[in-house]
């Protein structure tokens, strides 16, 4: 919902800036409008990232509450999460498509690092319906981990779920990520 909200506003702003740009006759002023547009969009990306972090916190809190409620009613059993399955969970287009999607959704500006190469592993559960939950990134850089979690929760497509004996099962998935900061 957060992504859709900001995409909608980004489209509206793009349209308005384009109208202003096309109406301007002076090249100097056109250059200034373009510079303002790029600056504004960079600020909007930063604001969107803050909203996505808030959404991530909400999702994680809801998952934690659900886990606590399930623990009290004994509905969720960690052994119900398959590690080995006859058919593993698959992202539409395969593993490389998943990596490309995550890279596209990853907000690199939100990563603060003193080192040039940052690594982490994102673990998550592919649910029986193909949705993902319990995304947890681990690595040396906290900001990289949060951005990786946001990117995973933001992927558009659902997985095809893992299966045992033809029945869909919950499946633990791990995605290693590396980013080079220039």
User: What confidence tens digit (pLDDT) does each residue in 40-53 have?
Assistant: 888 888 888 777 77
- 59 with 87, same domain: the answer is no
- 84 with 146, same domain: the answer is yes
The predicted pLDDT at position 2 comes to 75
pLDDT at 72 over 50: yes
- From 41, 76, 111, give the residue that closes a domain: 76
The predicted pLDDT at position 73 comes to 47
- Mean of the per-residue pLDDT values for the chain? 84
What average pLDDT does this structure show over 81-97? 86
How many structural domains is the chain composed of? 2
Tell me the CA distances in angstroms from 167 to 7, 37, 86, 92, one per residue in order: 37, 51, 10, 19
CATH of the domain at 119: 3.30.2420
Q: What is the pTM of this model?
A: 0.66
- 5 with 72, same domain: the answer is yes
- 97 with 123, same domain: the answer is yes
Structural domain that includes position 1:
1-76
Cα–Cα nearest to 132, from 76, 59, 48, 79: 59
The predicted pLDDT at position 64 comes to 66
pLDDT at 65 over 50: yes
pLDDT confidence band for 76 (50 / 70 / 90): very low
Distance CA 52, CA 2 (A): 7
For the ranges 32-36, 56-60, 67-71, the maximum mean pLDDT occurs at 32-36
- From 76, 91, 117, give the residue that closes a domain: 76
Tell me the CA distances in angstroms from 173 to 100, 113, 169, one per residue in order: 16, 26, 12
- 64 with 98, same domain: the answer is no
**Burial of residue 122 (number of CB atoms within 10 Å: 0-12, 13-18, 19+):** buried
- 102 with 181, same domain: the answer is yes
- 112 with 181, same domain: the answer is yes
Residue identified by tokens 């600020």 is 43
pLDDT at 74 over 80: no
The predicted pLDDT at position 176 comes to 94
Distance CA 44, CA 11 (A): 12
- From 32, 54, 76, give the residue that closes a domain: 76
The predicted pLDDT at position 68 comes to 65
Distance CA 55, CA 11 (A): 21
- 135 with 160, same domain: the answer is yes
The predicted pLDDT at position 75 comes to 44
| CA 137, chain centre distance (Å) | 11
């Amino acid at each position: 919902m957060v992504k859709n909200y900001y995409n909608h506003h980004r489209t509206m702003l793009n349209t308005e800036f384009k109208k202003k740009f096309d109406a301007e006759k002076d090249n100097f002023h056109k250059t200034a409008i373009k510079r303002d547009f790029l600056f504004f969009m960079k600020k909007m990306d930063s604001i969107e990232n803050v909203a996505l972090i808030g959404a991530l916190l909400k999702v994680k809190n809801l998952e934690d509450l659900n886990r606590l409620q399930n623990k009290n009613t004994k509905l969720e059993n960690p052994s119900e999460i398959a590690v080995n399955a006859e058919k593993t969970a698959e992202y539409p287009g395969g593993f490389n498509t998943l990596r490309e999607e995550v890279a596209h959704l990853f907000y690199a500006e939100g990563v603060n690092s003193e080192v040039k190469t940052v690594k982490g592993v994102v673990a998550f559960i592919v649910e029986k319906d193909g949705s993902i939950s319990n995304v947890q990134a681990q690595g040396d850089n906290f900001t990289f981990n949060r951005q990786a979690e946001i990117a995973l929760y933001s992927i558009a497509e659902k997985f095809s779920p893992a299966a045992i004996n033809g029945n869909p099962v919950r499946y633990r998935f791990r995605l290693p990520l590396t980013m080079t900061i220039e």
